[in-house]
Structure 1
Amino acid sequence: MKAGTSVITLDAKPEPVEIDCGRCAVLVVDMQNDFGSRGGMFDRVGIDIAPIERVVEPTARVLAAARSVGLPIVYLKMQHSPGLADTGGPGSPHSIKHARLGVGKEVPAPDGRASRILVAGTWNTDFLPRLAPQAGDVIVPKHRYSGFFQTDLDRVLSDRDIKHLVVAGCTTSVCVESTVRDAMFRDYHCVVLADCTAEPIANDQPRTNHEASLLTIQLLFGWVSDSGRLIAALAR
């Protein structure tokens, strides 16, 4: 922290980046049961959720550090209305690509309650308990990959004079990257935390989807750092 200012210099790729903490928010993308919990949508279709499970603790540490210095926390929540009208209808690409994932299907929650896959107001779209929002945090629902598509996110950030976003969440190559791309188009400065983002799809070597997305982001859409460097910079 520079004396007399709220600006920190964060060690990042491809170069260090200055962040004005007075105009910065932490953006948590889709850390919810359907993606990161046993019995959720991903787990039910056999997608390995271990990469998402591994980023929960570093993300929790980032949220604690951010709250300790007063950074606002904004959560994105992927969900659809009970009637699925906001999926675009049966013939839409969104519906077609999500058909095998069972969006809208009635399923039991782990505690036996009735729930539905990726539907608002159910266990499936609840946030992971370890990362649950606290008083004062903001929740922005969305129904497409990008957090900016037909949502209030841009208004929420503009109303708070936010220009810097520290991004965590899942999945790296889909909802995280889509949101970061749209943020960059709106002139937000995004720093994606590599150890607080996860990609369970196409993780074959030599390069994973996670790594490919981080490379694209650091080259063209923003910067890439990690939880340890951010927490250390905030502590300074």
Structure 2
Amino acid sequence: MAAEAATGNERRATGDGGPVDPNRWALLTIDVQNDFVRADGPGTIAGTEALLPAMARAAAGFRTAGLPVFHLVRLYLPDGSNAERCRRASIAAGLRLVCPGSDGSQLHPTLAPPGGGVRLDERALLAGATQRVGPREWVLFKPRWGGFYATRLADELRALGVGTVAVVGANFPNCPRTTVYEASERDFDVVVVADAISRIYPRGLAECRDIGARVLDTGELLEALAALTGTAATAWPGG
């Protein structure tokens, strides 16, 4: 029965029922930064703070399983020159949103790597470098909505042998959805973690399924990882 349950989880997570290599999974967190999460942040996204526990559970599961975690972040220069076109004017006019070096630009503590004390190296990130913040955990700056646009993400994932990415973060209509489509375009299998992405809605999830993405909640994700890696989900924080 355990073997049958594991096979079912593999099929649910990958869609084809074929062999699954647990080392080929990675977690992508999208824009889980103080300015977007905190209720008093200048760019707060409604509903994101309430989903932090689910995001943290997903990250803890990947860390415990020894699987890669990539945090994708934004860093808007004060003149707005590296912001999306629709936001340049407001930032240039004085809106300080995820400004490099600010507290608001940092990863929210709930999702930050264990041990604390990690601050973003904005100079390196803005130059396109990958910042390592844990044993198998990194941060990348993304200059537009999607995590793959003009970044090293695809190369970093392929160098690690990753074939499946799970996506959590903020906020679905913009960056997570774009990242899902970009991942699919690059032939990665995609898992959308529905209860760990803010502003998600049924039609969007249906459209993700239509391009082959799998939609799981955090509990199902942890069960799938447990089946693939042999790690007991109950051993993971919050599991």
Fold conserved between structures, TM > 0.5: yes
Contact 2:76–2:97 (Cα < 8 Å) also in 1: no
* Residue-by-residue CA offset, 1:171-218 (whole Å, 9 max, x unaligned): 11110010111111100100000001111xxxxxxxxx6322211101
- Asked whether 1:128 is paired with 2:108, we answer yes
Deviation at 1:148, TM superposition (A): 0.9
Correspondence for 1:225: 216
Structure 2: stretches of 5+ with no match in the other structure: 115-133, 228-239
Deviation at 1:233, TM superposition (A): 2.5
**TM-score, normalised relative to structure 1:** 0.76
- Tell me how far apart the structure 2 counterparts of residues 71 and 162 of structure 1 sit (CA, whole Å): 9
Q: How does 1:58-207 map to 2 (within 5 A)?
A: 58-87=54-83, 94-95=84-85, 97-98=86-87, 102-103=90-91, 116-134=96-114, 135-136=134-135, 137-199=137-199
Correspondence for 1:113: none
Give the secondary structure class of the aligned counterpart of 1:230.
helix
* Residue-by-residue CA offset, 1:84-138 (whole Å, 9 max, x unaligned): 3323xxxxxx33x2257x436667xxxxxxxx31322211211111001352311
Give the aligned residue type for 2:82.
D
Give the secondary structure class of the aligned counterpart of 2:174.
helix
- Tell me how far apart the structure 2 counterparts of residues 142 and 233 of structure 1 sit (CA, whole Å): 28
Give the secondary structure class of the aligned counterpart of 1:11.
helix
Correspondence for 1:112: none
Give the secondary structure class of the aligned counterpart of 2:40.
coil
Contact 1:20–1:164 (Cα < 8 Å) also in 2: no
Correspondence for 1:90: none
Correspondence for 1:54: 50
Aligned-CA RMSD value = 2.8
Give the aligned residue type for 1:28.
T
Q: How does 1:25-64 map to 2 (within 5 A)?
A: 25-43=26-44, 49=46, 51-64=47-60
Contact 1:181–1:221 (Cα < 8 Å) also in 2: no
- Percent identical pairs in the alignment equals 27
Correspondence for 1:91: none
Contact 1:170–1:176 (Cα < 8 Å) also in 2: yes
- Closer/same/farther in 2, CA of residues 75 and 234 from structure 1, 3 Å limit: same
Give the aligned residue type for 2:173.
S
Correspondence for 1:234: 225
Give the secondary structure class of the aligned counterpart of 2:157.
helix
Give the aligned residue type for 1:103.
I
Give the aligned residue type for 2:214.
W
Give the secondary structure class of the aligned counterpart of 2:158.
helix
Give the aligned residue type for 2:223.
A
Which protein has the bigger strand share? 1
